[in-house]
Amino acid sequence: MSYQYIHIEDPETLELREADDLTCSADEVIIDVAYAGINRADVLQRMGFYPPPEDASPVMGLEVSGTIRSAGETSGFSIGERVCALVHGGGYATQAKAKAECTLRVPAAIDMQIAACLPEAFLTVWYNVVVRAGLKGGETLLVHGGTSGIGNIAVQLGKSMNCLVIATAGSSDKCQLLADIGADVCLNYNEASLTEQCTEQGLLGTVDVVLDMVGGDFEQFNLECLAVDGRIACIGLMRGGQATIDLTQLLMKRATLTGSTLRRLTHEEKARCFRDVDEQLMPLVESGQMRPLTDKTFDLKEALAAQTYMSSGAHAGKLLLSCG
């Protein structure tokens, strides 16, 4: 028996290939993939800018939903269970391998397309906003890239914690989407400077936590909008990895600037976060209180078209590959 996966021939050529069925060790599961989530990291991997860690699958794809095809004896899962999982590469395929501790059962009320949007966003948002930046109920959260696969979950997490949520996006349509998912203040970064907009609305110096996926020239604004003891969690560099900042603000505000990449967390840290998101976030999706934004689903063999669409920036919400 064999399964299909997407092979990177070169940055502009992706091929559908076949290989023998995957096998797993005792603490792992093999998933018959229904949907794979598409992430920016996949685009960077295809272009050769983000090589996978040595122990990871060279196949793109960091998250999937599907059903258990085979389960290692200590995994605690059974064949046929509906799951979603963070995978160590290999998601762009009809079968994927995951550690049991990075696999979540999907309640019946949650659609498998929605389930594929969850692992990467749940983990990234939880680890950065809650664990590292320590967001507390009632604080003010600023989310850049609010309509992204990651950002929309952060906005909705903030609302579930009764925070005031400010979010940025690059168009009025995307700002409307942000309002629809509950953001209290939506800032269009193409309309006027963010500093100007925040000053007008009396928000400068009020933000407790920034989830920043853009960096670059927005970094100084991040510091300006922070309250005393504010925290910035940097997870992406859509506006570049170089920034000039006024360190006086860092001192005067006792600010914390932190950052992380999910791929480099230890299995233990990922497992700890997975237990937390299963308890804290999955029930919000199950009850409909959290509604992950989705944009478009492509066929597995259209992976290049899907990534080209992501690179265009026209999407809002998660892009998926149908792999079943």
Ligand X SMILES: NC(=O)c1ccc[n+]([C@@H]2O[C@H](COP(=O)([O-])OP(=O)(O)OC[C@H]3O[C@@H](n4cnc5c(N)ncnc54)[C@H](OP(=O)(O)O)[C@@H]3O)[C@@H](O)[C@H]2O)c1
Residue type, 55: D
- The crossing angle, in degrees rounded to 10, of helices 118-125 and 267-280 is 100
Residue type, 114: I
- The correct pick among 61, 149, 230, 292 for binding ligand X (CB under 6 A) is 149
Check binding of 222 to ligand X (CB under 6 A): no
Best CA proximity match to 195, nearest among 176, 217, 172, 164 = 217
- The correct pick among 131, 238, 250, 304 for binding ligand X (CB under 6 A) is 238
Check binding of 262 to ligand X (CB under 6 A): yes
Measure Cα distances from 251 to 64, 189, 194, 257 in Å: 42, 27, 22, 11
- The correct pick among 94, 147, 294, 307 for binding ligand X (CB under 6 A) is 147
- The correct pick among 39, 65, 103, 222 for binding ligand X (CB under 6 A) is 39
Minimum gap (Å) between residue 30 Cβ and ligand X: 24
Q: Between residues 31 and 38, which has the closer beta carbon with respect to ligand X?
A: 38
Pairwise CA distance, residues 98 & 32, whole Å: 11
**What are the structure tokens assigned to 296, written together?**
């478009």
Best CA proximity match to 277, nearest among 137, 83, 101, 122 = 122
Using CB under 6 A as the criterion, what x/- string covers residues 158-177 for binding ligand X?
-----------xx---x---
Minimum gap (Å) between residue 2 Cβ and ligand X: 30
Scanning 35-43, 88-96, 111-119, 154-162 for contacts with ligand X by CB under 6 A, the matching segment is 35-43
Measure Cα distances from 34 to 46, 59, 72, 112, 250 in Å: 22, 17, 20, 7, 46
Q: Between residues 76 and 182, which has the closer beta carbon with respect to ligand X?
A: 182
Check binding of 56 to ligand X (CB under 6 A): no
In the numeric block, the tokens 């953001």 are attached to 183
Check binding of 277 to ligand X (CB under 6 A): no
Burial of 238 (0-12, 13-18, 19+ CB in 10 A): middle
Q: Between residues 40 and 82, which has the closer beta carbon with respect to ligand X?
A: 40
Check binding of 148 to ligand X (CB under 6 A): yes
What is the contact surface with ligand X in residues (CB under 6 A)? Answer: 39-41, 120, 124, 144-145, 147-151, 169-170, 174, 189, 213-214, 235-236, 238-239, 260-262, 310, 313
